[in-house]
Structure 1
Amino acid sequence: MRPTIRLRLTLLYAAAFFLAGAVLIAVMYFSLEHWLGRRPHGGAQVIVREYLAEPQLRGRMNAVDRLASAVGAQAEAERQATLHAMLGWSLAALGAVGVAATGFGWLLAGRVLAPLQQITATVRRVADHSLHERIALGGPRDEITDLADTFDAMLERLDRSFDSQRRFVANASHELRTPLAINRTLIEVALDQPGAPESLRQLGTTLLAVNGRHERLIDGLLVLAGSEQRLIERRYADLAEIARHVAGLAERQAQEADVEVRTVLGSAPVAGDPVLLERLVHNLIDNAIRYNHSGGWVDVRTEKAGRQSRIVVDNTGPEVPDYDIDGLFEPFRRLTGTTRRAEPTSTRGAGLGLSIVRSVVQAHGGSVTAAARSSGGLRVTVVLPAAGSRDAVGASAQRR
């Protein structure tokens, strides 16, 4: 486990306290030693000599010297004992007070870092739900308050930017879809005329295919732009039910491409946007059918494993180079090479299928990976957080 800032601050505070205490004890020790060394402890020897140097005691000078030396030795022993006692008690006091100071430093670090925890919690909520919330940190004007204000200004700019993007997408959807719908209607009316020559019918069919491809491109771009955000509202959905529905709709496309769609659908509950989840599964299966070969197959499997729900789509098809895997999830990227695809050129996709899958997965807080199969084709695995019961998801949505 990596050390937190609070732990590092506490350790730094404790280290500084013990270092300062050790320096203070050293200064006191040498000062006391110097002061005791300047005391006339040898004066006891002088007094003893003067007292015993009386005329009647002059014959006993050897005894006097021995007594004076003993008194000096006793004084030195008492001096050393005083220094050792002072050092021992000082170190013991430093240890006891240091432990208390470390606990106080832990509480103080938590108090100082509390605004940072508030900033982190708010930023996480904003990242998971909406950009409309602000930190709005109160208190004195200091570096932490400046940091919170900087985050608020950044969130304000991001909020305006995404609002502008959503408005642009809404306007673009109207401005781009309307002329394409008019073109499609005009072409269909022209093709329905009884006396239309065969050349006109061929041209109209080609124009309808091109117009349809442009419509799919616009729809894909709109879904891609709309799924870039985290979801505000989540509803209960089962990937197994969605995959069963989408696989049924894809049967005709699979038959035309001579591809078999096989399913093994176990319950895989999630909480999210059912419309986006259906688009996710549709793109996975559609991509697996398009990038396949005649007589191939597509396997769709859903399951729940612990706290995760998965959908795995395997398909036969051309060999996929390893260096192409990462680029498959980028917009307008297709597989390199000229291997035959199970689709006519006029109905080929816009290159947004897997990029939309990645955006939808990220909006639901999941992950998506792709791996090339050794015999050709691709395996795409989508992992999403598993949901509880339908009632639990509904209660969670009401609390939001």
Structure 2
Amino acid sequence: MIGRWSVRGRLTALYGGLFVLAGGALLAVTYLLVWQSLNGRLQPFGDSMNLRELRTASPEDVIASIRAAQVDYRDDVVESLVTRGSLALLCVALIAVAFGWLLARSALQPLHRITEAARRIAAGHGLHERIPPTGPRDEVAELAETFNAMLDRLDRAFDGQRRFVADASHEMRTPLAVKRALIEVSITRPGASADAKQLGAELLEVNARHERLIDGLLTLADSENELTERSRTSVSDIAEHVLWQSKATADQAGVDLHHDMAPCEVVGDPVLLERLVRNLVDNAIRHNHRGGWVDVDAGPGVLVVANTGPKIEPYEVEGLFRPFRRLDRVATTTGDRGLGLGLSIVRAIAAAHGATVTATPGADGGLAVTVRFAGET
């Protein structure tokens, strides 16, 4: 029957019941203390006057002796009650606090489940998780239903956004591919003038940039979805492969590549993990200077990509992870400032794998990006 009460009713019954129990226990202890004190002092005269003195004493002396005995008797009872009553009150209070703590924890257990679910969602486990309806129809159940309804709306909104980005990107790929084919045919046909070839080359470069943008948006949309493929993957092997492929670009930019690889295995999507490492290495090479270096270190559950380069202020670091955010004042080794999606894709892929990404600017310039895979060894 109590299980059907509201949280307010249960807490009221809990606190009221504890108060009544504690008060009753304290009253019983007080009664016992007073009874013991009174029972231990049945001789009201005590040592004030013996029988021989009583026979020869005047009525005034007898009255004075009785009053003195009453005062001593009262003082002893009050002192005993205060001393032992205080100790009894302390014991009853400790017992009441202990019972209140246990009962409050039981009453607040549904709220703890809601908090844990919110913490898992905030950690990047996806908006698909819901709080199962358990217990009676009370305020906590209404809170769980409201929380689930909010998650439903957020989940639909984010899914709609991702589907729109993916669909729009797919739709734009076809006209870009047709445009590239038409430009290539125009500049390779016999009789094409030098100006037409130069214009065509510039248009191809612009078209290639748009294709990279579309590819980046698709990757960003895919990486924000829940992983459908998971396998044991060595991040160290991926990093070595990416460094080998990037050597020609680094040599052309005048940047030295260094690495220190220890075993780093995680469970995830190998394609997305390769894109994560590639984006970090490409950014480290692009945003550098001639004669600089890129250092890639891997270890148990961690990947660090550091480089030399222009000085970055600490307050600018977080903005680098936002889509289409670039530092316009920073020059690049390749002349291409990029699309501003590299680190955004890195963070999205890391979140899909339950990892965290942090960046620390170097004292003399450059940036050190650290990816930590939680729970991996």
Common fold by TM > 0.5: yes
Query: CA 1:300–1:112 in 2, change beyond 3 Å: closer, same or farther?
Result: same
Aligned to 1:290: 286
SS in 1 for 2:153: helix
User: For structure 1, which segment, 175-184 or 132-141, has the greater mean C-alpha deviation from structure 2 after superposition?
Assistant: 132-141
Query: CA 1:102–1:154 in 2, change beyond 3 Å: closer, same or farther?
Result: same
Structure 1 residue 221 and structure 2 residue 213: aligned? no
Distance 1:96 1:318 in 2: 67
Number of residue pairs matched? Answer: 340
Q: CA deviation at 1:229?
A: 4.9
Aligned to 1:317: 309
Aligned to 1:342: 333
Aligned to 1:75: 70
Aligned to 2:168: 172
Q: CA deviation at 1:126?
A: 4.3
SS in 2 for 1:333: coil
Query: CA 1:235–1:84 in 2, change beyond 3 Å: closer, same or farther?
Result: same
Distance 1:233 1:151 in 2: 29
Please list the CA deviations of residues 197-226 of structure 1 after superposition, one character each: whole Å capped at 9, or x if unmatched: 222222221111111101111211222233
Q: CA deviation at 1:77?
A: 3.0
- Indicate conservation of the 8 Å contact 2:314/2:361, yes or no: yes
- Indicate conservation of the 8 Å contact 2:355/2:372, yes or no: yes
Find the partner of 1:383 among 368, 372, 375: 372
Q: How many percent identity over aligned positions?
A: 50
Aligned to 2:322: 330
Query: CA 1:107–1:374 in 2, change beyond 3 Å: closer, same or farther?
Result: closer
Structure 1 residue 300 and structure 2 residue 296: aligned? yes
Aligned to 1:46: none
Distance 1:264 1:75 in 2: 92
Distance 1:88 1:290 in 2: 80
Structure 1 residue 141 and structure 2 residue 159: aligned? no
The one-letter amino acid paired with 1:189 is: V
Query: CA 1:80–1:333 in 2, change beyond 3 Å: closer, same or farther?
Result: same
Please list the CA deviations of residues 322-362 of structure 1 after superposition, one character each: whole Å capped at 9, or x if unmatched: 554333222222234364x22144xx421211222222223
Q: CA RMSD in A?
A: 3.4
Please list the CA deviations of residues 165-203 of structure 1 after superposition, one character each: whole Å capped at 9, or x if unmatched: 232133112211111111112222223323322222222
- Indicate conservation of the 8 Å contact 2:310/2:330, yes or no: no
Aligned to 1:270: 266
Query: CA 1:371–1:118 in 2, change beyond 3 Å: closer, same or farther?
Result: closer
Aligned to 1:189: 185
Distance 2:139 2:278 in 1: 50
Aligned to 2:348: 359
Q: CA deviation at 1:125?
A: 4.3
Distance 2:292 2:119 in 1: 45
The one-letter amino acid paired with 2:345 is: I
Aligned to 1:114: 109
- Indicate conservation of the 8 Å contact 1:269/1:386, yes or no: no
The one-letter amino acid paired with 1:314 is: A
Query: CA 1:79–1:325 in 2, change beyond 3 Å: closer, same or farther?
Result: closer
Please list the CA deviations of residues 254-301 of structure 1 after superposition, one character each: whole Å capped at 9, or x if unmatched: 233233323222222222222222111111111122122334332222
SS in 2 for 1:250: helix
The one-letter amino acid paired with 1:209 is: E
Uncovered stretches (5+) of structure 2, i.e. residues with no partner: 1-10, 39-43, 45-53
Q: CA deviation at 1:105?
A: 1.0
- Indicate conservation of the 8 Å contact 2:125/2:352, yes or no: no
Aligned to 2:7: none
SS in 1 for 2:256: strand
Aligned to 1:47: none
Q: CA deviation at 1:98?
A: 2.6
Find the partner of 2:58 among 30, 41, 63: 63
SS in 2 for 1:146: helix
Q: CA deviation at 1:63?
A: 2.1
- Indicate conservation of the 8 Å contact 1:312/1:380, yes or no: yes
Q: CA deviation at 1:104?
A: 1.4
Distance 1:134 1:378 in 2: 39
Aligned to 2:200: 204
Q: CA deviation at 1:321?
A: 4.3
The one-letter amino acid paired with 1:318 is: P
- Indicate conservation of the 8 Å contact 1:270/1:385, yes or no: no
Q: Name the larger-Rg structure.
A: 1
Distance 2:19 2:131 in 1: 35
The one-letter amino acid paired with 2:323 is: P
Distance 2:80 2:314 in 1: 74
SS in 1 for 2:320: helix
Q: CA deviation at 1:316?
A: 3.1
Please list the CA deviations of residues 88-138 of structure 1 after superposition, one character each: whole Å capped at 9, or x if unmatched: 454343333333222211221111111112222333444543423321433
